[in-house]
Amino acid sequence: MYAVIMAGGKGARFWPRSREKKPKHLLNIISDKTIIQETVDRIKPLVPPENILVVTGKKHARTLTRQLPEIPSRNIIIEPQGRNTAACIGLAALHIRKIVPDDIMIVLPSDHAIADTQKFIDVLGAAAQTAADEDGLVTIGIKPSSVQTGFGYIEKGNSLKKIKNEEIFRVKSIREKPDFQKAAEFVQSGNFYWNSGMFIWKNSVILKEIGRWLPALYAGLMQIEEAIGSPLEAATVSRVYRKLDSISIDYGVMEKADNVFILPGDFGWSDVGSWDALWEISSKDTKNNAAVGGSRTILEDSEDSLVYNPRKLTALVGVKDLIVVETKDALLICKKGRSQDVKKIVEKLEADKLKKYL
């Protein structure tokens, strides 16, 4: 069994803590360890470090090697350019096929938080067994706790079977990020789950499905496969990969395939996708304030707020629903519930060419 951790992205919603050189998964946001270190530790009971692959960009490869010394350096796979998840997963599948003819492949984002590790391992084990038995594409769904438009939704169909108390369902439909009204309908129906971005399948199955639904991308991957392990590998990957279609595995394959299954994942999941999400999973005082970062925080007549400050005393007086984030060169003050829009600040900085803040 192999695990592939996708370690791309900028984590723009976590600005100003997350920057281009150190995106969210390379930061210690929720514990003393970085998020990707926690991701690797979490999967190790199921997959040994020598079978864990990390796909990342060139600018983060050295940092990942330092942060993950137990992962062989050959398992840090570099994308010359981000081309979305279908290309990322396809590239990792080729590297696995160079090692073994076929095996189960668990695909995980690098930057999620899981509260109950043992339950997580139990669900993944049942998912891996399903992928082996059914030659199918298996995903993990998260029961919605609120109406969210930032997630894709998966509609469950009929129950297939149970494996060690974990129920497996056929997938009826997969929906991209909906508007608020549609998301509310999904949540109210009780038949939809958030798309966690976790996938489990045989290596041969996902490559076959990419070939079926994304033939141009598959053709490029086959060019790369011929060069893997040869002196031409770096040049071939650089030349071919940049031309691959930039498309998500959800839209490119999962929405179209007919052999898709879902397991509910009730293990305290968060994508830690914004400062609001960090507030949700953080310890809070009696007035629902969360103070993280280590420095002293004084909260007077304030409630439902988040303060992240690792350097200086921070005091809030008479406020509600605020997010306050301080770093050495930037200060963010945001109304709680609006932190998804922090990415607009990053876009503004990019447009104004203020690279020192990115």
Six token digits for residue 190? 């009780």
Print the domain residue range for 22. Answer: 2-270
**Three-state DSSP class for 10?**
coil
Residue at a domain's end among 270, 288, 305: 270
- How many domains does the chain fold into? 2
- What whole-number distance in Å separates Cα of residue 9 and Cα of residue 25? 9
Residues sharing a CB contact under 8 Å with residue 292, sequence separation 6 or more, in sequence order: 29, 278, 282, 306, 307, 308
Q: Tell the residue number behind the tokens 């003393």, with chain if given.
A: 32
* Predicted confidence (pLDDT) at residue 237 exceeds the cutoff of 90: yes
Residue at a domain's end among 270, 299, 332: 270
Six token digits for residue 203? 């290596």
Question: Do 311 and 259 share a domain, yes or no?
Answer: no
88-109 mean pLDDT? 96
Q: How many CB atoms lie within 10 A of CB 271?
A: 18
76-84 mean pLDDT? 93
Question: Do 55 and 137 share a domain, yes or no?
Answer: yes
**Three-state DSSP class for 106?**
strand
Question: Do 288 and 157 share a domain, yes or no?
Answer: no
* Residue 184: predicted pLDDT: 92
Question: Do 265 and 331 share a domain, yes or no?
Answer: no
Question: Do 62 and 155 share a domain, yes or no?
Answer: yes
Least Cα distance to 137 among 223, 252, 41, 246 occurs for 252
Question: Do 170 and 303 share a domain, yes or no?
Answer: no
268-277 mean pLDDT? 89
Question: Do 153 and 245 share a domain, yes or no?
Answer: yes
Question: Do 144 and 220 share a domain, yes or no?
Answer: yes
- What whole-number distance in Å separates Cα of residue 158 and Cα of residue 163? 15
Residue at a domain's end among 246, 270, 294: 270
* Predicted confidence (pLDDT) at residue 118 exceeds the cutoff of 80: yes
* Predicted confidence (pLDDT) at residue 292 exceeds the cutoff of 90: no
Per residue in 294-313, pLDDT (tens digit) is: 778 999 999 999 999 888 89
Question: Do 258 and 334 share a domain, yes or no?
Answer: no
Question: Do 186 and 105 share a domain, yes or no?
Answer: yes
**Three-state DSSP class for 194?**
strand
* Residue 12: predicted pLDDT: 83
Of the pLDDT bands very low, low, confident and very high (cuts 50, 70, 90), residue 147 is confident
Question: Do 6 and 148 share a domain, yes or no?
Answer: yes
Q: What CATH number does residue 262 fall under?
A: 3.90.550.10
Contact, 326 vs 314, CB < 8 A? yes
Question: Do 283 and 266 share a domain, yes or no?
Answer: no
